[in-house]
Chains A and B, each alone.
Chain A
């Protein structure tokens, strides 16, 4: 196992821990996006570029966006009451 893969594995564990430990949902979304990016880089280092592409597009762009839109809708709903 190369140093690059090892450091990315450590980084993915740390960023995953950050997602769990973050309590504010909006910050958690960004932590999740960061974790997705680290996982994408890890897949790239493990020579799976196609999985890395999907992980970065789905895990870093689309899923956080869906969460953010849902959180915004909930916050607006609460403010309207």
Chain B
């Protein structure tokens, strides 16, 4: 497509869409003024209905819990797909040499880096667990906690190097976390059905407001999401890290793709 044709297309698109965009933009509520009736209703009703103070978690894990179950399945499928694609040619063994791009210097780690990473990785993991555990009371929750916990794995790699990292971070354990979390969520949706209630109905006692135990079934769902997200992101990091190894000759697929 020539530049002139592109400009003509841009002009036509602007002519058609710009009035609509301007119309919608002028009708938006002012910056920083929450007016959504749904949000206001949730803020008023849910502390009494579910005994939780984190409304985002309450919407995600209870009011719209079925939507989150769908997202959970999407995450599971996406990570499984990426893992299946990347598994094979490179880095399946634990002690394979790091690949090297010619002309790029290899600098050894300083002791200070190792120490700083050990401290930062443990603190990050603790923050992740804490954010996940306090999902019902303070901002955060399973997804955030899980992602923070998984990013502590990156710091662990930065400090310890590949070989030690691989011996600490086990693929099957991460896969178990991922699948186990998804299964736990599925069970949380299914068990109420067996009692003749709607799926994901909050059948556990709600607990006390602002307590670590508050929200009933939401705690189980929150834990399921935390486990699954930690496993998913950890598995993704592991598979991508394996791609930086030197391919071993035997495992490279031949012409027939075997």
Q: Interface residues, chain A, CB within 8 Å of chain B? A: 1, 5, 46, 48-50, 53-54, 57-58, 61-62, 65-66, 69-70, 72-73, 75-76, 79
- Chain B residue with Cβ nearest A2: B32
B216 at the binding interface (Cβ < 8 Å): no
The docked-state distance in angstroms from the alpha carbon of A28 to that of B31 is: 31
Docked-complex contact A69 and B240, CB < 8 angstroms: yes
Q: Secondary structure at chain A's binding surface: helix, strand, loop or mixed?
A: helix
- Chain A residue with Cβ nearest B150: A62
Taking a contact as CB atoms closer than 8 A, the residue among B139, B233, B244 that contacts A72 in the complex is B244
B236 at the binding interface (Cβ < 8 Å): yes
The docked-state distance in angstroms from the alpha carbon of A4 to that of B150 is: 31
Docked-complex contact B32 and A46, CB < 8 angstroms: yes
Across-interface contacts of B125 in A (CB, < 8 A): none
Q: Across the A-B interface, give the 4 residue pairs with the lowest CB-CB distance, nearest first.
A: A69-B240, A76-B99, A50-B139, A57-B147
Across-interface contacts of B233 in A (CB, < 8 A): 62
Size bracket of the B interface: 20 to 34
The docked-state distance in angstroms from the alpha carbon of A75 to that of B100 is: 9
B65 at the binding interface (Cβ < 8 Å): no
Across-interface contacts of B187 in A (CB, < 8 A): none
Taking a contact as CB atoms closer than 8 A, the residue among A1, A48, A58, A70 that contacts B243 in the complex is A70
Docked-complex contact A57 and B140, CB < 8 angstroms: no
- Chain B residue with Cβ nearest A69: B240
B148 at the binding interface (Cβ < 8 Å): yes
The docked-state distance in angstroms from the alpha carbon of A50 to that of B53 is: 14
Docked-complex contact A53 and B154, CB < 8 angstroms: no
Across-interface contacts of B137 in A (CB, < 8 A): none
Across-interface contacts of B100 in A (CB, < 8 A): 76, 79
Instruction: Give A27 Cβ to nearest chain B Cβ, in Å.
Output: 14
